Structure 1
């Protein structure tokens, strides 16, 4: 299964906002677009959907931007993927109206793939946006590893900073 670009970008917006929660100024669409090399107009549509779903608070004009409407640990990944993905039919037999497979009556593929899809979504249901941006232990660096943590900085590769 492959996530659509829409879902990928929606997750990036939410992650960027989560990683930027400590800032005084809200995150701008232009900032996210530049950080990820994504079309600003495409992101605007995604932000509108996320705001309509109650995930982002948006403010227009000078000093405006977007912020998460609720804490990142309350935004469930499984819910986001279900909201933004339009098709979970892995093969044609998942859709009774379009199914032309001659083996459907004695094939177990649909059952196996249905179980796999449920397992995939169950993993996402167990995670939040906060889990995607939380600091992680640095790679083994001897005694200093315990005094440092990985921190994701929007627009930059992961960097190590002292905590």
Structure 2
């Protein structure tokens, strides 16, 4: 499993904002982009989504900027990753969704037509446990769609992949932003 650069940059941005030494002073996207030597235009999209999800607060105007909207101990890494990663399809036949009954969780849509055999839901949208569910890709693609793998309808490897993915997410859900900035002074000095 490999997270996208989008998720990597989102995490880096939150780390930057969490260790910024001048707590009252707003940061700007250019400073974050410069600190990590990443594209400002790409980072702008990420910051926008983090704002929509309630992780970052933006202040407009001449003296505007951005800051964390939540305390670092209230930013769960697993929940964040599930909200911003586009999919968790480890292989072609492996399909997951983030289901719920009203088809929206903080702007993320999911299907309610899924196989709940592997459903690990045990929480609300903003807490660890936002469900990941293994879905039947033939239901998504249609019964007459050609499967990418001849054994897909009977393959049990999907269950193994799902178990591994669930373990990956469960580990991330065990950590908050506060946990990964415990060496705040060292991080701040590297980002200045």
Normalised by the length of structure 1, the TM-score is 0.80
Pairs aligned (count): 144
Contact 2:21 2:188 (C-alpha < 8 Å) held by counterparts: no
Contact 2:58 2:64 (C-alpha < 8 Å) held by counterparts: yes
Deviation, structure 1 residue 81: 0.6
Q: Which has the higher helix share?
A: 1
Q: What is the CA deviation profile of residues 96-118 of structure 1, one whole-angstrom value per residue up to 9, with x for unaligned ones?
A: 12742112344321111100000
> Structure 1: 5+ residue runs without aligned partners?
137-149, 158-163
Match of 1:151 in 2: 186
Match of 1:28 in 2: 28
> Structure 2: 5+ residue runs without aligned partners?
96-136
Match of 1:50 in 2: 50
Deviation, structure 1 residue 130: 1.2
Normalised by the length of structure 2, the TM-score is 0.69
Contact 1:93 1:100 (C-alpha < 8 Å) held by counterparts: yes
2:66 and 2:191 map into 1 onto residues whose CA distance is: 20
Residues 1-163 of structure 1 mapped to structure 2, 5 A cutoff: 1-20=1-20, 22-95=22-95, 96=137, 97=141, 99-135=147-183, 151-153=186-188, 155-156=190-191
